[in-house]
Amino acid sequence: MTTQATPQPAQESAGEPEAGRITKARRWIVTAVAGALATLISTVILGAWPRLLDQWADFRGRPHLIATAYAVEVDSGDEVAFERPVPLGPGGTLLPPGSRRQDVLALIKRENAARVRGVTVNIILRNARHETIRILDVRPRILQDAPLWSGACMDFPTQGEATVYEVAADLDNLRPGKEGRKGGFLKKNIDLADGERASIELSATAKKRYYLWDVQVDYLYGDSPEVRHEYIKDSGGAAFRLTGKAKKYKEYYTATVYSNDYRRVRRSKPC
């Protein structure tokens, strides 16, 4: 009887399991390092991206502040003055019968009329950068002054959410008032984060002279100690006009109640 030998299983190489573990470890290390590098690179890029955008905006000459200013429209009880008399129409009026309020406002703008004694200008400031902008001050900047305008005056007979920062300025004596901080017209600084806005109501007055002026905003950008300036005119690009009230005018225009024709009623008289 022949006895068959039982086949023996092939022996594994002693070094094979160890090599597999080393390969897996290497793959894990490579994956971990690659993930860490990707995270680091993305963090650096994302962190630097806003600064790169700001530098590109600076290179293209774009302003740090987006600013809008407009004078509050004339209302009942207000007066405006002209440097010289305005030519009257065929009916002896400044505007034809049936004129609307928009026509009166267009006349005032066309003839560059100045508000008498006081005007309120609303200013909207928005940060156009990623760095914080600190508003240090908001004030009038006088572009021109002259003797009181006494050419003609026009009166306006009585017809029957966000924080607003107030600034008051006397153009005859352009210094901060009692409530303003030392050296500034604003009562306190305003910090604007990226995209944040602030509303400022600037009330200017004048009694002694005529003034052509715009608005000056002083601010710090980011960590820089340099004080920068932004100069703002109205939304149409025109400077503001304000004059004191003259003792008498060559001509005086007014309108009857519920009318906008504005006819001459007096000569060489007070308004």
The dihedrals phi and psi of 110, each to the nearest 5 degrees, come to: -65, -35
| pLDDT above 80: residue 170 | yes
Residue range 124-163, pLDDT digits in tens: 998 887 788 899 999 999 999 999 999 999 988 765 455 7
| pLDDT above 70: residue 19 | no
What mean pLDDT, rounded, does the chain reach?
80
| pLDDT above 70: residue 44 | no
Question: Which pLDDT score is estimated for 227?
Answer: 93
Cα-atom radius of gyration of the chain, to the nearest Å?
Answer: 36
d(CA 114, CA 241): 5
Interval 99-126 mean pLDDT: 90
The dihedrals phi and psi of 185, each to the nearest 5 degrees, come to: -90, -30
Interval 185-211 mean pLDDT: 89
- Taking the alpha carbons of 153, 154, 156, 157 in that order, is the dihedral positive or negative? positive
Question: Which pLDDT score is estimated for 206?
Answer: 95
**By mean pLDDT, which of 25-39, 72-86, 127-141, 251-265 is the weakest?**
25-39
Three-class HEC string of 193-210: CCCCEEEEEEEEECCCEE
The pTM (predicted TM-score) of the whole model is 0.61
* In contact, 269 and 252? CB cutoff 8 Å: yes
- How many helices (H) and strands (E) the chain has is answered by 2, 14
Q: Tokens 């200017």 belong to which residue?
A: 204
Question: Which pLDDT score is estimated for 156?
Answer: 82
Q: Predicted confidence band at 213 (pLDDT cuts at 50, 70, 90)?
A: very high
CA distances to 119, 173, 174, 212, 240 from 232, rounded to whole Å, are 16, 21, 17, 13, 10
Interval 228-238 mean pLDDT: 91
| pLDDT above 50: residue 12 | no
**By mean pLDDT, which of 54-58, 122-126, 222-226 is the weakest?**
54-58
The three-class DSSP label of residue 30 is helix
Please classify residue 266 by burial: count the beta carbons closer than 10 Å to its beta carbon, then call 0-12 exposed, 13-18 middle and 19+ buried: middle
CA distances to 1, 2, 8 from 5, rounded to whole Å, are 13, 10, 9
d(CA 167, CA 94): 35
Element (H, E) at 127: strand 118-127
Element (H, E) at 140: strand 133-147
| pLDDT above 80: residue 217 | yes
**By mean pLDDT, which of 22-31, 61-70, 168-177 is the weakest?**
22-31
* In contact, 216 and 140? CB cutoff 8 Å: yes
Residue percentage of the chain with pLDDT more than 70: 70
